[in-house]
Structure 1
Amino acid sequence: MNTLLEAEGLSVRYPVKGGWVHAVTEVDLQLRAGETVGLVGESGCGKSTLGKALMRLIPAQGQLRLNGDDVLSRQGRQLLPFRRHVQMIFQDPQGSLNPRQRVGTSIARPLEVAGWSRDAIQVRIAELLEVVGLPASAATRFPHEFSGGQRQRIGIARALALEPSIVICDEPVSALDVSVRAQVINLMRDIQQQSHVAYLFISHDLSVVEYIAHRVMVMYLGRVVESGPTAQIWAAPAHPYTQALLAAAPVADPRHPRGESLLEGELPSPLAPPSGCAFHTRCPYAQPLCQQQRPPLQSLTSERQVACHFHLS
């Protein structure tokens, strides 16, 4: 699979009184055609910030390339070709749609910006509604007339309007009921199989990530601490933080219970991160070296990386 989107040393920081908040620090990421990369971690670890940086919705430092072309140096209308290829599905399906606009108008907007004719737009709206399992008549209705799952289907239709090669999904099913969540996830998988679109799937729901993601990146306090194929990480997590997340995840099958949570304490403030390994204040395996030196992200195999002095595998 060819690499579509590539980030190297991508960082996001915010100025505060007396210094900076480093929300995302030196993240490397490759997103390939037809694959889903899951991005997991606790709330406040930088997942959504990274997604917005990849979408060029907020300023970032480092390198970001789409099909080998630099993206970070582009501004304003120079980003229109980038928007054609990279779209986003937002967490709140109701808040992401204008309540005063009919569904067809919301879906049409990216097509209008891209210069499509009125007739072509109407044909495309009908196609997209069919793809996401909604009747063509939905185009004339307002968002409040739909359920949460239907509104998220509308958000997916809008994201797919220009046939992007990449969709960044920021907690796309977290606001939905369990049954509806499964329907939307299966819809996204079906669309991927047909179009080979790549997803960056940001979520705190590890069961959903395990189901949909080919590869996983685990973030802690703005840094990636482990990455690799989903099945391998679930079978044998190498970082204590990943182990703790998986141990705390609920499992529907009572015959295979998870152990008790290994994660204690609160996520440290990014205003004053711990020295050395940021996870050492909560890690059951921490040793003096962990407080003194930050572990680099090192390769375990050609597919797996971990940032831990005393990794578990």
Structure 2
Amino acid sequence: MSTLLEAENLSVRYPGKAGWVHAVSEVSLELRAGETLGLVGESGCGKSTLGKALMRLIPAQGALRLNGSDVLGVEGRKLLPFRRQVQMMFQDPQGSLNPRQRIGTSIARPLQVAGWSRSAIAARVSELLEEVGLPASAATRFPHEFSGGQRQRIGIARALALEPGIVICDEPVSALDVSVRAQVINLMRDIQQRSQVAYLFISHDLSVVEYIAHRVLVMYLGRVVESGPTAQIWASPAHPYTHALLAAAPVADPRHSRSDALLEGELPSPLSPPPGCAFHTRCPYAQAICRQQRPALQALSPERQVACHFSLS
């Protein structure tokens, strides 16, 4: 699979009263055609900030390349080709739609900005609504006339309007009921198989990530602590943090017993991160070196990496 989007040592920082707040620190990743990359971690670990940085919605340092070309140093109208290729699905399907605009108008907006003709826009809107399982007549209705699942289908249609190669999905099903969530996820998978679109799938729901993602990045306090194929990480997590996240995930089996690796303590503040390994304050395996030296990402295999002095692999 060809690499579409590549980030190298991407960092995001904000000025604070006591210095810089490092929300994302030296994250490297690849998004490949037809693939879903899952991004998991606790609230406050930098997942959504990373998604915004990849969308060029906030300033970032490092390197960001689309199809091999730099996009971090591009501004203004020169950024339009990037905007056409990288779109976003939002967490709140209702809040992301203008309540005063008809659905057809919302879906058509990216096409209007791109300079499409009226006839081409009308045909494309009908095509998109059909693709996400809604009738063409939905274009004349308003957001409040649809259920949450239908509104997220509309969000998918809008994200796909310009046939992007990449869609950043920020908690796209967290606001939906379980049954509706499954329908939307299956729709996204079907669309991916037909179009080879790449998804960056940001989520707290590890069961959904396990189902949809081919590869996973695990973030803790702004840094990637483990990455690799989903099946391998779920079968044998190498970082204690990943192990704890998976142990805490609910399992629909009354015979399942909780692991003793459940995560304890609070996520440290990015205003004053711990020295050494940021996870050492909560890690049951921490030793002196963990409190003094931050571990670098090391390759366990060509596809797997972990940042831990005492990995569980």
TM band (smaller chain): over 0.9
In the aligned structure 2, how far is the partner of 1:69 from the partner of 1:257? 49
> How far has the Cα of 1:69 moved from its partner?
0.5
TM-score in terms of structure 2 length: 0.99
Offset from partner CA, 1:105-162 (integer Å, 9 cap, x none): 0000000011100000000000000000001111001101111000000000000000
Conservation of the 8 A alpha-carbon contact between 1:250 and 1:258 = no
2:191 counterpart of 1:191:
yes
Conservation of the 8 A alpha-carbon contact between 1:248 and 1:260 = no
Q: Which residue of 1 aligns with 2:277?
A: 277
Q: Which residue of 2 aligns with 1:251?
A: 251
Offset from partner CA, 1:246-274 (integer Å, 9 cap, x none): 00000113344442552110000000000
Q: Which residue of 2 aligns with 1:27?
A: 27
Q: Which consecutive residues of structure 1, in runs of 5 or more, have no partner in the other structure? A: none
Q: Which residue of 1 aligns with 2:113?
A: 113
What secondary structure sits across from 2:207 in the alignment? helix
In the aligned structure 2, how far is the partner of 1:56 from the partner of 1:185? 26
1:154-233 alignment runs, 5 A limit: 154-233=154-233
Conservation of the 8 A alpha-carbon contact between 1:7 and 1:64 = yes
Conservation of the 8 A alpha-carbon contact between 1:251 and 1:257 = no
What secondary structure sits across from 1:122 in the alignment? helix
> How far has the Cα of 1:8 moved from its partner?
0.1
Q: Which residue of 2 aligns with 1:101?
A: 101
TM-score in terms of structure 1 length: 0.99
Conservation of the 8 A alpha-carbon contact between 2:108 and 2:125 = yes
Letter in 1 for 2:74: R
In the aligned structure 2, how far is the partner of 1:190 from the partner of 1:253? 28
* Sequence identity percentage: 86
Q: Which residue of 1 aligns with 2:311?
A: 311
Q: Which residue of 2 aligns with 1:237?
A: 237
Please identify runs of 4+ aligned residues in structure 1 that moved more than 3 A. 255-258
> How far has the Cα of 1:202 moved from its partner?
0.2
Letter in 2 for 1:71: V
What secondary structure sits across from 2:172 in the alignment? coil
Alignment RMSD, CA only? Answer: 0.8
Q: Which residue of 1 aligns with 2:40?
A: 40
Q: Which residue of 1 aligns with 2:59?
A: 59
Conservation of the 8 A alpha-carbon contact between 1:55 and 1:87 = yes
Q: Which residue of 2 aligns with 1:146?
A: 146
> How far has the Cα of 1:73 moved from its partner?
0.6
In the aligned structure 2, how far is the partner of 1:164 from the partner of 1:212? 19
What secondary structure sits across from 1:120 in the alignment? helix
In the aligned structure 1, how far is the partner of 2:74 from the partner of 2:256? 50
Offset from partner CA, 1:256-295 (integer Å, 9 cap, x none): 4442552110000000000000000000100010000000
Q: Which residue of 1 aligns with 2:266?
A: 266
Q: Which consecutive residues of structure 2, in runs of 5 or more, have no partner in the other structure? A: none
Offset from partner CA, 1:59-107 (integer Å, 9 cap, x none): 1000000000000011121111001110000000001011111100000
Q: Cα 1:70–1:32, aligned 2, differ >3 Å: closer, same or farther?
A: same
Q: Which residue of 1 aligns with 2:88?
A: 88
Conservation of the 8 A alpha-carbon contact between 2:225 and 2:308 = yes
Q: Which residue of 2 aligns with 1:15?
A: 15
Letter in 1 for 2:119: D
In the aligned structure 1, how far is the partner of 2:237 from the partner of 2:70? 34
Conservation of the 8 A alpha-carbon contact between 1:251 and 1:258 = no
What secondary structure sits across from 1:200 in the alignment? strand
In the aligned structure 1, how far is the partner of 2:137 from the partner of 2:30? 39
Q: Which residue of 1 aligns with 2:291?
A: 291
What secondary structure sits across from 2:21 in the alignment? strand
Conservation of the 8 A alpha-carbon contact between 2:22 and 2:222 = yes
> How far has the Cα of 1:12 moved from its partner?
0.3
Conservation of the 8 A alpha-carbon contact between 2:42 and 2:204 = yes
Conservation of the 8 A alpha-carbon contact between 1:39 and 1:217 = yes
> How far has the Cα of 1:18 moved from its partner?
2.7
Conservation of the 8 A alpha-carbon contact between 2:37 and 2:199 = yes
What secondary structure sits across from 2:301 in the alignment? coil
Q: Which residue of 1 aligns with 2:73?
A: 73
